[in-house]
Chains A and B, each alone.
Chain A
Amino acid sequence: MHETAVAESILHTIIAQADKANAKPVSAIISCGQFNTLNDECMQFAFEAAAAGTVCEKTKLVIKHIPLRAKCEQCQTVFEFDVYKPACGQCESKEFDFEPDAPLLLETIEFEG
């Protein structure tokens, strides 16, 4: 999706934090939802390209995908939504309400030492 803009944004934050900590960033963990999702390959490529020549050049990027949950209106079961089978896993009802999709988050940064 919008991986280049995401790469630039997280790079900006990691560099600022690295300056503050006066340490080299080893890895960073980001997470995304299902509707608001990221493509792993594109994201890694965009981050690598953006990080070239910066303190983040060797920083490892970890991308977590958070499942989208929905609550069945019939049996109240909370289940993980699957676009290939959009129904409650318990009673197979197609009447359900989505819980909020996970936002794009920069969760943690790990520094050397």
Chain B
Amino acid sequence: MAMISDAPALQQPSEPAESAAAPSRMARYARPILGLLLPLALALGWELVVWLGWSNGRLVPPPSRVFATIAELARSGELVRHVIATLWRVGLGFAFGVIAGTMLGAVSGYWSLARRLLDPTVQALRAIPSLAWVPLFILWLGIFETSKVALIAVGVFFPVYLGVMGAILSVDRKIVEVGRTFRLSGPAMIRRILLPAVLPAYVVSLRVGLGLGWMFVVAAELIGASEGLGYLLLDGQQLGKPAQILAAIVIFAILGKLTDWLIEVAAAPFLRWQDAFGRAKGA
């Protein structure tokens, strides 16, 4: 996920300056294109296979049929309805999960007493596969929106909680000492030292959390929904429409990447100081 795709960038923090000038413009566009070659070739190849009649493409529809399905869903207004339903659930669940995860993570990171009280319980709960909550949530919260949002929030909560707590615990003692020598008060220490120090890890945990949010919305919608992209998946399975399933998957991919990118873009101005962020990304 987000963490994995960032890892290579972190390992090459300072690209030598000479490659920054003329070749970089080409590199910036050429490399993503390089990555697109394989999927494009596969898609075109499959399209060709079906077009030549070597396969009927019934179970594995060619890209043109998938996009035709998307276009049709869009024309009928179905697509917007499903996308909005799913986005709304993810957004709400993400918000709740982030708020709870940030608050508890901050408390556990800052006060060791709270950590001793709270963390073992949270870690024990984390060990439960989150889908195991589904029957309970349905019993408690009903089969409508509340249980779905709750499930997504649970998925988002743990990575954010762990990220915030871990980030606070790993703030460099030496830098905290600088704050102490300038006699910062508690709130000033948090605002001027801890928050900025924690921010990079926090952004990563948000991105991981969002990824899990997208995972759990599918689970929630597969279980029982009358709208949403997950419902499109299930509907496609039950009515034997693989093009519709693939269409939903493509839209999931687009939305997931888009929302992840939004977090990255929103955080970028605050992380310009970092050695690795964005700078080495084009490389």
Do A and B originate from a single complex?
no
**A interface residues (Cβ-Cβ under 8 A, vs B):** none
